[in-house]
Structure 1
Amino acid sequence: MIPSLKGEAEYVINLLKNIIEMIPDAVMVADRDGNCIMVNQAYKNLSGLSDEDVVGKPADIDIAERDSVLIKSIREGREFVNLLRRVGPDKREVLCSAKPIYIQGELVGSVGVMHDISEIKRLSRELEHKNRILRSLESKYTLDDILGNSEKILKAKEEAKACAGVSATVLLVGESGTGKELFAHAIHNMSPRAGGPFVRVNCAAINKELVESELFGYEGGAFTGSLRHGKKGYFEQADGGTLFLDEISEFSLQAQAKLLRVLQEQEVLRIGSTVPQKVDVRVIAATNRDLEEEVRRGNFRQDLYYRLNVIKITIPPLRERKEDIPLLCNSIIKKYNQKYGRGINSISKKALEILMSYDWPGNVRELENIISRAMINMDISEKEIKPEHLPDLVDNHGFLRQLSDGDIVVSVKGKTWDQVKREFEAKVLKFFLNKKKSKTAIAKDLGITRRALYKKMKLLED
């Protein structure tokens, strides 16, 4: 039976105090004048203020920024929900709600509840940090992301598919920019380890003094500057998944020896520890160098080379699969249309001929750079990539720039012998004229007379 509370003010106050003490959120009660008359322990914990600091004082005594929601509810006679405020000396972020109290239709005060969100924000930041780590340990690409229908790229993709189901070490060989990392991602995603982590390591970027701690980790306090709780190395992070060692040739001989031991024993020994830990890691290594030649020169351990070269996949350079350029261009245009908010819908036949004539020393990465730069510099109204949008490849006379000193490329597709010969002579002449020599010296280099040289120079004017 609920007892009658009429006339028992002290009893009511004690009952109210006990009720609000049971509420986990911070609570403050104010009278009709906006002065605090009661707070619970959760409030004191949140604000860092005591009863003496707030009771009997204006309800905005705790507000570090903006106005008091309790006073606002008294002044306007209505409820407010989840208004952001900062309270106490530490300016804790809270969500404040307040509701006016009416007795027999008369406003007698207000009650406010404050919910601490600073801890939620901290946990949110921590969760986002961990999500970023997880994203860095996930593979992003599949075999479908490796574009091309040329014989050589299809062969490489078939080899990747064939080796995905086994845990043998894979060595990816190819020039810079050919897409070795895409192949590593794809192999992992097709493997039974697809649900595990994918850890990418740029071997060239690791400080030589930190190679061991980065790869194998360390115990807390193992050396000056180490984390108190220690740190997992890349092998432990990749446990149950794949470790991609990019630019493996950049490892020092000392680092190569330590890597070889882990590959042989499938266990790591943290710095500062005496107990080795078993790891289940598949290694995919990549290089743009001839490792056999590096072994002959003494720059790479022969035993490590044999350990890595269990399955070797050679990724062809773009110059050996030029028939894939149109497909790659369409994909790149689509990608950067979305990224830059552009509406490019095609590439002209002449511009495509220029791209097909170039030898692409930077491979697909260079092609993407050229196309994206062209799109950035195009007028917003232009919808087609044309030769004039490719200044890095075409000179002021419309000729394809030479690949390197003395290398000249001429496209023969759809041209007669006379057209090919004329284009070749014009490019040779342009190459020698760029050397800034006298006409006599150029004629001598070409083995022709000055008169013949001037006659050929008319090619540039036609």
Structure 2
Amino acid sequence: MTEIEMMRSLLDQLQEGIIIIDEREIIFYINETACRIFEVEKDDILGKTAIESIPNTRLHIVLRTGEAEYDKLQNLGNKVILTSRIPIKNSNNETIAVAAVFRDVTTLQRLAEEITNLREIEALLTSIIDSTSDAISVADQEGRVVMVNRAYTRITGLAPREVIGKPATIDLAEGESLHIRCAREKKPIYNVRKILATNKKEIIASVTPLFVNNEFKGSVAVIHDISEIQRLINELEATKRLLKKESAAHTFDDIVSKSPTMKEVITEATKIADVDVNLLLVGEFGVGKEVLAQAIHNASNRREGPYLKLNFSLISFENQEEFLFGKNSYIANAHKGTLFLENIHLMNTEIQQKFLKLLNENIFECEYYDFVPDVRFIFATTEDLKILTSLGKFSKELLYKISVVTIEVPPLRERKEDIPDLAKQLLHTLNQKYGRIVYGFTDDAVNKLINYSWPGNIRELENVIDRAMLALENSDVLITSSHVPDLEEKKQEVKGTLKEMTEELEKKIIIELLEACHGNKTEVARKLGLTVRNLYYKLDRYGIK
């Protein structure tokens, strides 16, 4: 028996159910206990998504947030399970899977039949119910409260000493207590809305009877705060919207363009927007390439289609193929719409070749789709791709293909006429963010902004205005030069000859690849098209450790 077989056998013997999903939300492991609890066969659930297979699941949310959730009560029809959801992360602290570990706590009712003293039940339950975020109360056969957990106090505002020993109606604004109704009907009651007397919160409560030797001995209530449920619903809806498509919120009207250089950009972009060709946006970090891409999409005949964005700086070299040509391909999901690809200078050589096939031969190399997506690509980069092609780091053929229409977005230092209006635009956004009413800038503040070179462009301008807002007193309605942080100019260094600049860029690329490949020099050499010996020569030459 192999180690994996031994591990599977061990997990199948556990009393806890275990389900594991991968980064695509697909269930790839379930043990025997989990199959019994869910009343399913392994073959019927493996390979399916968690959302379609598991009632009330939150595994996909933990996959997105990367934050564990411990000891959460979850209703499964006539069963209740206590579950923990734990993210599994790789060496880069990226969540690659999520495991759910749970147990059927309805067995506590069977345990209660063997325990004749409700105080012993209390001791057994306390360690479990105090770990849950839902309020729990236990009443005796006459409807008097005998135990509550910490969450009960948090949700109702009532301390244990205020409710224990008193009728279960004490926490309700009106209506019959579910504990008393359960005592009368001797059967479970699910999902009843009530109003709390203390803080007028709306809750949903479920009550389960407790029997000992077939004799009714009391009941357990689980109380959910509806406001918390609504928050989770909103979180789920936000996640769904994020997965569905990016929001292309900006139009050409949003782009400040008083300066001649920016007017030229807008004129060119407006002309090309409705012409269904791919294009390349070139410009420094923070100049507004994505805003321009959104405006082009919204002015095109694809405006009703999806707008998706993928930033190559945010994904590893190894995952690029999965994002673009995998099961949840961004290219396929952008069908009939626009796909904005940012920092394409970080695109690996394999993906470059696949893009060439797609653009030249209309071949979409993806086993999960039987059609060729109809997509408009807007490529963007901060680097000089011609230098990268001379170094063999970017495909010359691909550059020719994507740069037929190239728009250079100017840095902020070349469009100083736009700074006052850009500052007002950013101020409006920050007023909404902080709930302030700041009308504008004094002349000295505007001059201070205009006379700075803004190496970080619009991103840096936004940061400076944000800091100025935080420096305001509550009574201030204008930003003055004293509120604007000191803006220190950095001396422009001479970069040297073309050969020196090329070598510096090569050094930068090697360092970036070493980080992306976690120091694997063989992999770096393969991606650069070098022998390992040549790579070591360059590492030594550039002093890269």
TM bin, normalised by shorter chain, reads 0.5 to 0.7
Q: Map 1:313-462 onto structure 2 (within 5 A).
A: 313-393=407-487, 401-404=488-491
How far apart are residue 342 of structure 1 and its match? Answer: 2.4
Q: Map 1:162-181 onto structure 2 (within 5 A).
A: 162-181=271-290
Match of 2:324 among 205, 215, 218: 215
Q: Name the CA distance, whole Å, in 2 between partners of 1:207 and 1:267.
A: 24
Matched AA of 2:365: L
Match of 1:429 in 2: none
Matched AA of 2:242: R
Deviations 1:343-395 (A, max 9, x none): 322312222222111111111111111111111122222222222222331xx
How far apart are residue 93 of structure 1 and its match? Answer: 6.7
User: Relative to structure 1, is the Cα distance of residues 370 and 45 closer, same or farther in structure 2, using a 3 angstrom cutoff?
Assistant: closer
Does residue 287 in structure 1 map to residue 381 in structure 2?
yes
User: Relative to structure 1, is the Cα distance of residues 60 and 282 closer, same or farther in structure 2, using a 3 angstrom cutoff?
Assistant: farther
Q: Name the CA distance, whole Å, in 1 between partners of 2:329 and 2:280.
A: 22
Match of 2:261 among 152, 155, 159: 152
Match of 2:329 in 1: 233
Matched AA of 2:355: L
Q: Name the CA distance, whole Å, in 2 between partners of 1:46 and 1:60.
A: 23
Q: Name the CA distance, whole Å, in 2 between partners of 1:128 and 1:385.
A: 35
For the residue of structure 1 that corresponds to 2:379, the secondary structure is strand
Deviations 1:76-113 (A, max 9, x none): xxxx9722213349x99789xxxxxxxxxxxxxxxxxx
Q: Name the CA distance, whole Å, in 2 between partners of 1:295 and 1:317.
A: 24
Match of 2:351 in 1: 255
User: Relative to structure 1, is the Cα distance of residues 374 and 126 closer, same or farther in structure 2, using a 3 angstrom cutoff?
Assistant: closer
Q: Name the CA distance, whole Å, in 2 between partners of 1:188 and 1:263.
A: 19
What is the TM-score when the length of structure 1 is the normalising length? 0.59
User: Relative to structure 1, is the Cα distance of residues 178 and 119 closer, same or farther in structure 2, using a 3 angstrom cutoff?
Assistant: closer
Match of 1:69 in 2: 177
Q: Could you tell me whether the CA contact under 8 Å between 1:244 and 1:285 is conserved in 2?
A: yes
Q: Could you tell me whether the CA contact under 8 Å between 1:360 and 1:367 is conserved in 2?
A: yes
Deviations 1:56-87 (A, max 9, x none): x95979x9978473455799xxxx97222133
Q: Name the CA distance, whole Å, in 2 between partners of 1:302 and 1:257.
A: 11
Q: Name the CA distance, whole Å, in 2 between partners of 1:355 and 1:120.
A: 44
How far apart are residue 263 of structure 1 and its match? Answer: 2.3
User: Relative to structure 1, is the Cα distance of residues 123 and 205 closer, same or farther in structure 2, using a 3 angstrom cutoff?
Assistant: closer
User: Relative to structure 1, is the Cα distance of residues 60 and 285 closer, same or farther in structure 2, using a 3 angstrom cutoff?
Assistant: farther
Q: Name the CA distance, whole Å, in 2 between partners of 1:177 and 1:338.
A: 22
Q: Could you tell me whether the CA contact under 8 Å between 2:306 and 2:338 is conserved in 1?
A: yes
Q: Name the CA distance, whole Å, in 2 between partners of 1:344 and 1:81.
A: 47
Q: Could you tell me whether the CA contact under 8 Å between 1:267 and 1:277 is conserved in 2?
A: no
Q: Could you tell me whether the CA contact under 8 Å between 1:148 and 1:327 is conserved in 2?
A: no
Q: Map 1:79-228 onto structure 2 (within 5 A).
A: 82-83=193-194, 84-88=204-208, 127-134=237-244, 136-217=245-326
Q: Could you tell me whether the CA contact under 8 Å between 2:467 and 2:485 is conserved in 1?
A: no
Q: Could you tell me whether the CA contact under 8 Å between 1:184 and 1:244 is conserved in 2?
A: yes
For the residue of structure 2 that corresponds to 1:245, the secondary structure is strand
Deviations 1:158-215 (A, max 9, x none): 2111111122101011111110000111111111111111110001222111111111
Q: Percentage identity across aligned positions? A: 34
Q: Name the CA distance, whole Å, in 2 between partners of 1:243 and 1:259.
A: 13
Report which structure shows greater RCO (CA 8 Å, sep ≥6): 1
Q: Name the CA distance, whole Å, in 2 between partners of 1:128 and 1:86.
A: 28
How far apart are residue 274 of structure 1 and its match? Answer: 8.4
For the residue of structure 1 that corresponds to 2:482, the secondary structure is helix
How far apart are residue 319 of structure 1 and its match? Answer: 1.0
Structure 1 stretch 63-72 or stretch 171-180: which is displaced more?
63-72
User: Relative to structure 1, is the Cα distance of residues 71 and 354 closer, same or farther in structure 2, using a 3 angstrom cutoff?
Assistant: closer
For the residue of structure 1 that corresponds to 2:351, the secondary structure is helix
User: Relative to structure 1, is the Cα distance of residues 262 and 384 closer, same or farther in structure 2, using a 3 angstrom cutoff?
Assistant: same
User: Relative to structure 1, is the Cα distance of residues 82 and 309 closer, same or farther in structure 2, using a 3 angstrom cutoff?
Assistant: same
Matched AA of 1:157: I
Gapped regions of structure 2 (runs ≥ 5): 1-74, 81-105, 113-139, 153-167, 169-175, 184-190, 195-203, 210-219, 495-545
How far apart are residue 141 of structure 1 and its match? Answer: 1.2
For the residue of structure 1 that corresponds to 2:206, the secondary structure is strand
Number of corresponding residues: 316
How far apart are residue 341 of structure 1 and its match? Answer: 2.1
What is the TM-score when the length of structure 2 is the normalising length? 0.51
Matched AA of 1:390: V
Deviations 1:210-238 (A, max 9, x none): 11111111xxxxxxxxxxxxx31111111
Q: Could you tell me whether the CA contact under 8 Å between 1:267 and 1:278 is conserved in 2?
A: yes
User: Relative to structure 1, is the Cα distance of residues 406 and 162 closer, same or farther in structure 2, using a 3 angstrom cutoff?
Assistant: closer
Q: Name the CA distance, whole Å, in 1 between partners of 2:429 and 2:443.
A: 20
Q: Name the CA distance, whole Å, in 2 between partners of 1:125 and 1:257.
A: 39
How far apart are residue 265 of structure 1 and its match? Answer: 3.5
Q: Name the CA distance, whole Å, in 2 between partners of 1:289 and 1:241.
A: 26
User: Relative to structure 1, is the Cα distance of residues 71 and 366 closer, same or farther in structure 2, using a 3 angstrom cutoff?
Assistant: closer
For the residue of structure 1 that corresponds to 2:277, the secondary structure is coil
How far apart are residue 119 of structure 1 and its match? Answer: 11
Match of 2:22 in 1: none
User: Relative to structure 1, is the Cα distance of residues 127 and 342 closer, same or farther in structure 2, using a 3 angstrom cutoff?
Assistant: closer
Gapped regions of structure 1 (runs ≥ 5): 1-42, 96-115, 218-230, 394-400, 408-462
Q: Name the CA distance, whole Å, in 2 between partners of 1:162 and 1:353.
A: 34
Deviations 1:286-336 (A, max 9, x none): 111122222223221111001111211111111111011111111122221
